Structure 1
Amino acid sequence: MGSRHFPARTVLFEKESTGVTYRVPALLYLPCVAKLLAFAEERLSADDAHANLLVLRRGTVYGSYVEQWEDMRVLETAALQHHRSMNPCPLYDEFTGTLFLFFITVLGRTPEAFQIVTGQNVTRLCCVTSADQGLSWSKATDLTQQVIGRVIKEWATFALGPGHGIQLRSGRLLVPAYSYHIDCKECFGQLCKTTPHSFAFYSDDHGQGWRFGEFIPNLQTGECQLVSVDEEDGSNVLYCNARSSLGFRVQALSTDDGAVFHGGQLVPRLVEPPHGCHGSIIGFPAPLVYGPQPRSAPESPASFPSQKPQRHPAQPLMIWRKVSTTSAALTSSRREKKVTCHATMPTGSRQVPQVLG
């Protein structure tokens, strides 16, 4: 039996000798042209306050892996004057062919910590679009007032993802996000307390208008990623995997496509690294399972034993498909200075793994 072939691991963005560093990656697959788009922040140093512009590399998918990557390009239009661009969150509308790139911009070198402590929010919600799969981009649109409005005064700051957005079968577009909500202030206006909460921006008209859903209740959550768990009957559940300060990732479910999330739950099996933030999620169809026909549910088994079942020699070996769609979540550390991509594509899935970085 020959050995299995694993594609080579490719370094997409690597720290330069000048100190320029690439952080906070996001990966998006465009099935219409078999392209994989990799975005990242270009920073003057590893410091968040030294973020500068956003960059892009496009890869061509052959079969189940990426064979060729184009040179890196700086997205000059994805910027606001006197602001730094951060947290790229790409999203593709399969109905219109529009590629969205959401991101935040922050005034000057203002650190996130300063905004959290003082409540002085200098972050903006921005977006650029592409009609040619990322070859050219529109000018940046500042959506802060239109989408968030007066509520922005209740947020010390906010950000997106990190990672990509998703589109549901209904057509709804979703962008994962989190905000530091101002819970109370002291009498003289000095900030007293803020708490982070994950939520989602969404659009039901192909990006013409955007709204934001409710915060995940009961637990403090920050950076987050989304995936839709689609069932064969057409229903779906939205799964959110979020960072927390409690030592483990938090998961939350939404049954109304992201407008409202049920209470978050700590997941002890998903240990949060000391400096982690990026929890990639993979959505995939229910896998085929090889084994004997289950006794409890001969036609549509909903669960399977964790150990390999014992089979009598006369018992037929059949192929069964699990009923429930499954999701997997991973976490990674922000300390990695290189952004790598093991570009093996899942088959039959509308979601792809987010790049770990």
Structure 2
Amino acid sequence: MEPPRVPTRTVLFQRERTGLTYRVPALLPVPPGPTLLAFAEQRLSPDDSHAHRLVLRRGTLARGSVRWGALCVLDAAALQGHRSMNPCPVHDTSTGTIFLFFIAVLGHTSEAVQITTGRNAARLCCVTSRDAGFTWSSARDLTEEAIGDAVQDWATFAVGPGHGVQLHSGRLLVPAYTYHVDRRECFGKICRTSPHSFAFYSDDHGSTWRHGGLVPNLRSGECQLAALGDSLLYCNARSPLGSRVQALSTDGGSSFLAGELVPALAETARGCQGSIVGFPAPPPSRPQGDGASTGTRSLPHCVHLCPGFQEAPEAGAGGPCEPQVPCGPSCLPQARSAGLGQSGPAVGPGGLPAASAVSPQRPAWLLYSHPTGRRARLHMGVRLSRTPLDPRSWTVPWVIYEGPSGYSDLASLGPVLAGAPAFACLFESGARASYEELSFCLFSLDEVLENIPPGRQPPSCTDKPSGTCQSS
């Protein structure tokens, strides 16, 4: 049997001798063509606190390859006295406007300092382009409008990183996470915080923005979203719990049901950002790989998570940990709002959406990218799920790059490679460290199906909660 093929790789951003480092990729296809916009953070060093500004390269797709333009510094995407981080673009197909969201963090204040002190130093900002990324508006600070008084209970927050999505209704969604202050009364210090994923959204083509409800239970951080129907939204998030966390929204991101662990999607040590993209399932006549059925199956009545696991609140400085409560194989982790003030849509058996809450939808598949190493950020892999509502449906990975690798962002390009659905991935890579360069590769769905090893990876229940999911 021949070894899996590795797609051709192009280095778009490379660490410079001066120490300038490029990290945290975001990739956005914009029609026609499509044009590909590759965003990144330019840092003075690999450290988060040395982030500086955002940069962009524009690519034109033609005859199965991409021609890239020169690096462009996005001077408009900045607030004075702040560093720009976490590029997260979303395209409004109705107006043609590109919204590039980012956070502007005061000075060199690290995320860890914000979490420890409970003093948020981040601002929610965006710039827009109406000409496929050639020119950009001045920065717009949306913090007061989109977050408001809730920011008083957020130790810090960030968007993405990666890409946002647009629903069929026209709603624009930007993935995000916050460290919610659960308890402050500890001798004047923050006693406990917990990370939770959520989304910012707009129903008026970006004129105004609001924040949705938080994933209420499991610790979830950097995340991305995929639309599975008109209002059904899938969230896949980084977590310090040994594997990824997924959560569903049946109201288009206004709120989320309780999250659940995805044992088939293991995290690296300390966790790592990953990317998710949804796309229409191919016709049944297309190759099916290991023989799994196409489309989205009906909602399961139970999901077999790791027995005995139910997350206790994250322990902060002096914060006590509650004991874990035994949980049978047919129950999900219980949602604990812990002062979040969130209410979710109707749920059915096991905490999953009630059948009446999910409307018939066009079948969708999901593609996911993340390092496959368990102890270190190594070997960028791509996995496929043909039944997104089943956390056990993920295939084993197709490793598209062997070596150090980290953050990534996927894009679905449509049938641009000989009529086959195509995808692109922009990811951190290197020979000795994952932050040496940002690489780009292009591949088709047929290549994914041909190179995924047969069979599925069995879930593992050996992972234990540990640490926090601070970005790095």
> Shorter-normalised TM-score: what interval?
0.7 to 0.9
CA 354–258 in structure 1, closer or farther in 2 if over 3 Å, else same: farther
Q: 1:273 aligns with which of 268, 271, 274?
A: 268
In 1: Cα distance, 2:149 partner to 2:70 partner: 41
CA 338–158 in structure 1, closer or farther in 2 if over 3 Å, else same: closer
In 2: Cα distance, 1:301 partner to 1:258 partner: 19
Residues 85-124 of structure 1: pairs in structure 2 closer than 5 A: 85-124=84-123
1:356 corresponding residue in structure 2: 427
2:198 corresponding residue in structure 1: 199
In 2: Cα distance, 1:226 partner to 1:252 partner: 10
2:454 corresponding residue in structure 1: none
CA distances 1:106-130 after superposition (whole Å, capped 9, x unpaired): 1100111000000111110001011
In 1: Cα distance, 2:120 partner to 2:297 partner: 48
CA 338–55 in structure 1, closer or farther in 2 if over 3 Å, else same: farther
2:215 corresponding residue in structure 1: 216
In 2: Cα distance, 1:350 partner to 1:343 partner: 11
Q: 1:347 aligns with which of 405, 415, 418?
A: 415
The offset of 1:188, in angstroms, is: 4.3
CA 39–79 in structure 1, closer or farther in 2 if over 3 Å, else same: same
Uncovered stretches (5+) of structure 1, i.e. residues with no partner:
292-299, 304-321
In 1: Cα distance, 2:207 partner to 2:296 partner: 43
1:38 corresponding residue in structure 2: 38
The answer to whether residue 370 in structure 2 is matched with residue 331 in structure 1 is yes
CA 261–353 in structure 1, closer or farther in 2 if over 3 Å, else same: farther
User: Secondary structure of 1:49's match?
Assistant: helix
Contact persistence 1:174–1:202 (CA under 8 A): yes
The offset of 1:356, in angstroms, is: 3.0
Contact persistence 1:164–1:354 (CA under 8 A): no
The offset of 1:337, in angstroms, is: 7.3
In 2: Cα distance, 1:126 partner to 1:182 partner: 22
Q: CA-atom RMSD, angstroms? A: 2.9
CA 345–96 in structure 1, closer or farther in 2 if over 3 Å, else same: closer
The offset of 1:9, in angstroms, is: 1.1
CA 29–106 in structure 1, closer or farther in 2 if over 3 Å, else same: same
The answer to whether residue 26 in structure 2 is matched with residue 26 in structure 1 is yes
1:152 corresponding residue in structure 2: 151
CA 190–56 in structure 1, closer or farther in 2 if over 3 Å, else same: same
Contact persistence 1:229–1:327 (CA under 8 A): no
CA 99–344 in structure 1, closer or farther in 2 if over 3 Å, else same: closer
TM-score by length of 2: 0.64
Moved more, 53-62 or 186-195: 186-195
The offset of 1:282, in angstroms, is: 2.5
2:320 corresponding residue in structure 1: none
User: Secondary structure of 1:331's match?
Assistant: strand
The offset of 1:151, in angstroms, is: 1.1
In 2: Cα distance, 1:176 partner to 1:301 partner: 23
CA 290–97 in structure 1, closer or farther in 2 if over 3 Å, else same: closer
How many pairs are equivalent?
A: 323
